[in-house]
Amino acid sequence: MTIKTANLGFPRIGKHRELKFALESYWADKSDAGALLDIGKRLRAQNWALQKEKGIDIIPSNDFSFYDHVLDTTVMIGAIPSAYGWKDGPVALDTYFAMARGSTGEEAHVDCGHQHHHGHGVPALEMTKWFDTNYHYMVPELGPDQSFALTANRPLDAFIEAKTLGIHTRPVILGPVTFLKLAKGTEEGFAPITLLERLLPVYARVLAELSAAGADWVQIDEPCLVLDLSGEEQAALKHVYRALHELVPNLKIMLATYFGNIGDNLPTALSLPVSGLHVDLVRAPQQIDVLLEAPADLTLSLGIIDGRNIWKADLAAILKKIEPLVQRIGADRLQIAPSCSLLHVPIDLDLETGLDEELTSWLAFATQKLDELSALGSPGGASQAIAAASEAVTSRAASPRVHDLKVRQRVAAIDETMMTRSSGFAERTGLQERKLRLPLFPTTTIGSFPQTSDVRKSRSAFTKGTISEADYDAFLKKETEAAIRWQEEIGLDVLVHGEFERNDMVQYFGEQLSGFAFTQHAWVQSYGSRYVRPPIIFGDVSRPKPMTVEWWCYAQSLTEKPVKGMLTGPVTILNWSFVRDDLSRADVSRQIALAIRDEVLDLEKAGAAMIQIDEAALREGLPLRKADWKTYLDWAVESFRLCASGVADETQIHTHMCYSEFNQIIDAIAAMDADVISIETSRSKMELLEAFRSYKYPNEIGPGIYDIHSPRVPDVEEMTELLTLARQRLTDGQLWINPDCGLKTRKWEEVRPALVNMVAAAKALRSIG
């Protein structure tokens, strides 16, 4: 038996981040468009060659992008907002980048997962999370008058480019329904999906030209099939695929779904006149049963290698799992593939020479996943690979590094009392007031101060070993002291130490916890030219020793004013990591929560009266299907409470979240029961506080009154105005005054005047009462 192997997409960034460096050089005017285009061409050729060499039967094309594949689609169909000045014909590279980054050429400031407009010129398109991944796409903006025209047939160009290199590919196209569903209407109440009829001829032409050029299959991605779809959207799918089938009958469509279960959309999916269906059997293995009943002429692509995580697959188990399908349907109607595009995993484990051998033996990055597929596709010839995979799986399952009995026992012993503060907020708040003696409308910041080039240089010198630990420490102390002095001087009420010692809000903790590993080269695209190296959580998590107490003590020793302890919460740590797949996410989260709880208690013991536990990414982890939200929110909230509830009533627990769209999850936010929550509200004109008002949210809130994503310094009046709006929705006793988020990405020249103004706004408000 041999089954065809297929790939759905390969990382674009290059093994050595070639794409990033080429883009940055082009944007900085250090190289020309020709050089950039050449790099793109070289990367595509390399990727195709690699996949061929690995023996992949079906190789994708048009999976490459200079910035983002959704933006590529927007440009391909000529849906370019008029502000970018395009009329017709081919779209210039600089127009494309203006849509991605704004026409001022200033790179988007994204540290909380979305893009922010600022500066002069034309702002970039909005950016948001691609499904539940940490990849971000540029959101198409469509209005009722939108027309579409094919500006350049990108999939065709890619197909021909590969063909010239002797590789017959299956071009990848973002499906029209998913594209429209991801778009936002330019007008209130306008649903882009109503534009489908107008979009259809453009797609038909793309396909017809591909077919004429010799393409036999295309992969059309409709991941919207794993979302909750309206009747209208389901009807749109039926309509568009019937039409495409009629217009281009000779081209076979592999309809790709991924990131979840097709579920109630299955009848729709199976009714479409397509030749193939790809399903994600990693995220939703239960789908294998319904596939047994698939129509007899449908080719099934089984997504069985995890495209979202970095663990070596258990090849023998996979073969066993798909065996009934092979028996029933026959190998010739099956393909095996990664669950989704390999975009979401790092490129090549072989680059990672710093990891220990044992851990390395458990991992597979994109390149290794191609090997896994290949081995599965030819099981007769690959028994060695299969045996090796089994060995890796057994070794991981048995390793003492993965299993810590003490941690397991602690998690098993968690009970309700550990997740509940001794008294309710109504009682706590009085005790805290008496202890802290803060003025009305207390002022504070979210934690970090500018990570200046000095800070970064010093850190990198320390990591490289060119300065000693003592020198580095002295430098950090100097920075921290200056920050404390300055905060006192301008009259902030609650101080922070500034987080100068932290490289990143997750990595800093991960590096001090057991069960985490960090890589040197395992970059994954977050958006455009920004790549991240997520930590790998491979084993039971524990905290060998206090992580932040010394820094907090040092900062507090410098001042009489309260300094907040500053921690990252378990859900955020989890959501920004590659998480082990042999334990539920809820349990991994509980383990991290216990470690953070210990830190909270140590901070309290050291004298901290206020401790902030950031949950920047709590909302990011929401499942794709509404029906799964409650389960997630339940354990996410439990994890937070587990961190926060060990302290005395007098100790004030803060949390921070980098957004404010809480209307759908306000119950969960309230259930977290943080004494104070700071959120991002400045750009929404406080409208998003409505959720808190109508819920009658009782605890204290610091709605951000200054947009930290922009270099602009807001004046006192502007902040006062926002505070007035906030006071329409919150009581005075509830209201804290702070920026939207941490200030690490800003310059001191921007931060200083802005915070001076913020304190002035608070004082003005107090005086008029």
Residues binding ligand GLN (CB under 6 A): 111-112, 446-448, 499, 505, 566, 614, 616, 656, 658, 741-742, 744
Ranges of H-type helices in 563-704: 570-575, 585-606, 629-644, 666-672, 690-695
- Give the tokens for residue 166: 């002797």
Is the distance from CB of 17 to CB of 523 less than 8 angstroms? yes
Minimum gap (Å) between residue 512 Cβ and ligand GLN = 16
Q: CA–CA separation, 48 vs 405, rounded Å?
A: 46
709 contact, one of ligand GLN, Zn ion, none, CB 5-8 Å limit per kind: none
Q: CA–CA separation, 530 vs 527, rounded Å?
A: 5
For residue 266, which of 303, 292, 297 has the smallest C-alpha distance?
A: 292
| CB neighbour list of residue 170: distance below 8 Å, 6 or more residues apart | 6, 58, 59, 60, 61, 215, 217, 218, 219, 254
* Beta strands at 141-142 and 334-338: parallel, antiparallel or unpaired: unpaired
Minimum gap (Å) between residue 680 Cβ and ligand GLN = 9
Minimum gap (Å) between residue 532 Cβ and Zn ion = 16
For residue 592, which of 677, 536, 534, 510 has the smallest C-alpha distance?
A: 510
- Pick the binder of Zn ion from 336, 741, 743, 758 (CB under 5 A): 741
Minimum gap (Å) between residue 762 Cβ and Zn ion = 20
Minimum gap (Å) between residue 445 Cβ and ligand GLN = 7
Q: Is 344 a catalytic residue?
A: no
Q: CA–CA separation, 22 vs 24, rounded Å?
A: 6
For residue 88, which of 148, 19, 25 has the smallest C-alpha distance?
A: 148
614 contact, one of ligand GLN, Zn ion, none, CB 5-8 Å limit per kind: ligand GLN
Q: CA–CA separation, 303 vs 565, rounded Å?
A: 44
Query: Which three-class secondary structure state does DSSP give residue 100?
Result: helix
Among the residue ranges 105-113, 287-295, 301-309, 518-526, the one whose residues contact Zn ion (CB under 5 A)? 105-113
Minimum gap (Å) between residue 671 Cβ and Zn ion = 21
613: contact with Zn ion by CB under 5 A: no
Minimum gap (Å) between residue 705 Cβ and Zn ion = 14
- Bridge partners of 676? 654, 700
Among the residue ranges 41-49, 51-59, 658-666, 728-736, the one whose residues contact Zn ion (CB under 5 A)? 658-666
761 contact, one of Zn ion, ligand GLN, none, CB 5-8 Å limit per kind: none
- Considering only residues 548 through 577, tell me which ones interact with Zn ion, judged by CB under 5 A: none
Which residue number, 65 or 134, has a Cβ lying nearer to Zn ion? 134
Residue with the shortest CB distance to ligand GLN: 742
658: contact with Zn ion by CB under 5 A: yes
Which residue number, 36 or 496, has a Cβ lying nearer to ligand GLN? 496
Which residue number, 319 or 566, has a Cβ lying nearer to ligand GLN? 566
The pattern of x and - marking residues 147 through 176 that bind Zn ion according to CB under 5 A reads: ------------------------------
Q: How wide is the angle at C-alpha 296 spanned by C-alphas 294 and 298, nearest 5°?
A: 70
For residue 739, which of 690, 681, 686 has the smallest C-alpha distance?
A: 681
> Could you identify the residue written with the tokens 């800070």?
455
For residue 134, which of 593, 530, 660 has the smallest C-alpha distance?
A: 530
3-state secondary structure 713-725: CCCHHHHHHHHHH
524: contact with Zn ion by CB under 5 A: no
447 contact, one of Zn ion, ligand GLN, none, CB 5-8 Å limit per kind: ligand GLN
- CA 459 and chain centroid, separation: 26
Minimum gap (Å) between residue 130 Cβ and Zn ion = 20
Minimum gap (Å) between residue 742 Cβ and Zn ion = 6
Q: CA–CA separation, 662 vs 683, rounded Å?
A: 15
Which residue number, 227 or 506, has a Cβ lying nearer to ligand GLN? 506
Which residue number, 499 or 598, has a Cβ lying nearer to ligand GLN? 499
DSSP codes, 342-377: GGGS-S-GGG--SS-HHHHTTB--HHHHHHHHHHHH
701, HSE (Cβ side, Cα atoms, 13 Å): 29
Q: CA–CA separation, 724 vs 730, rounded Å?
A: 10
Order of strands, edge to edge, in the sheet holding 536-542?
514-517, 536-542, 578-579
| Inter-CA distances, 132 with 601, 625, 705, Å | 33, 10, 29
Which residue number, 499 or 707, has a Cβ lying nearer to ligand GLN? 499
Is the distance from CB of 640 to CB of 596 less than 8 angstroms? no
585 contact, one of Zn ion, ligand GLN, none, CB 5-8 Å limit per kind: none
Catalytic residue from among 114, 118, 656, 709 = 709
Question: How many residues of this chain interact with Zn ion, rule: CB under 5 A?
Answer: 3
Which residue number, 40 or 704, has a Cβ lying nearer to ligand GLN? 704
Among the residue ranges 107-115, 122-130, 550-558, 709-717, the one whose residues contact Zn ion (CB under 5 A)? 107-115
Minimum gap (Å) between residue 205 Cβ and ligand GLN = 44
Active site residues: 709
Binding site for Zn ion (CB under 5 A): 112, 658, 741
